[in-house]
A and B are shown apart, each in its own frame.
Chain A
Amino acid sequence: ETGVTQSPTHLIKTRGQQVTLRCSSQSGHNTVSWYQQALGQGPQFIFQYYREEENGRGNFPPRFSGLQFPNYSSELNVNALELDDSALYLCASSLGAGPATEDFFGHGTRLTVV
């Protein structure tokens, strides 16, 4: 176990709704990254937060937004859900935001949009 926990495990939402996914980092880690993994694909980077500030963003529209809290836990918010947003959402924590740091992943949240 990596010590990274995500909630909820599964979620079903209707197109157009909004969703919030949560991630608790491994103890001592100050950086959180979020990834989207569509079925049969590799994970794709959404964004990263380092000490409560956004530190890099992938090719995702603004309706994907995030927060990191003082205890370094994090939220991923998605507005105006679309059917293509159905995926496994993975959170990873690391100690530091540098490229040489190792990421530790949670088990993910499976989001289904109907």
Chain B
Amino acid sequence: KQEVTQIPAALSVPEGENLVLNCSFTDSAIYNLQWFRQDPGKGLTSLLLIQSSQREQTSGRLNASLDKSSGRSTLYIAASQPGDSATYLCAVVSYNTDKLIFGTGTRLQVFP
């Protein structure tokens, strides 16, 4: 059974810092991995989608890497801003389930 873990559960940093959020999954047989942002009480906004054949994806200040063999992904946020404060969720689509399986998220607070 696929399990997705995110570390740390919460993070509080001053504005301007570069950040790394971690995601690990137990079964490397995945189709893709996706990072989402969720503002309090709101839905999910897709940030980056990495197919299993890819190693990384970049969008603006965000960079996500995927190491399928070790079951890990990292989301790198450069020059963090207060507007980046949100919960970040990673999710994988496994061969055996075909549906998104989510981690519990990292709650990020960036203070001025």
Contact = CB atoms under 8 A, between A and B. Distances in A.
B97 to A, nearest CB: 8
B74 to A, nearest CB: 18
B99 A56 contact: yes
Given A42-B102, A42-B103, A58-B99, A102 B44 contact: no
A104 B100 contact: no
A45 to B, nearest CB: 5
Nearest to B41: A110
Contacts of A58: 99
B101 interface: yes
A108 B43 contact: yes
Given A90-B43, A108-B43, A99 B105 contact: no
Interface residues of B, number: 26
Nearest to B104: A42
B98 A103 contact: no
Contacts of A42: 4, 89, 91, 102-105
B80 interface: no
Nearest to B31: A99
Contact of A41 (B36, B44, B97, B104): B104
A105 B41 contact: no
Interface in A41-86: 41-45, 48, 56, 58
A21 interface: no
Nearest to B30: A99
A44 to B, nearest CB: 7
Most buried by A among B42, B45, B100, B102: B100
Nearest to B36: A105
16 contacts: A33-B99, A40-B104, A41-B104, A42-B102, A42-B105, A43-B89, A45-B100, A45-B101, A56-B99, A100-B32, A100-B93, A103-B100, A104-B46, A105-B43, A107-B42, A110-B41
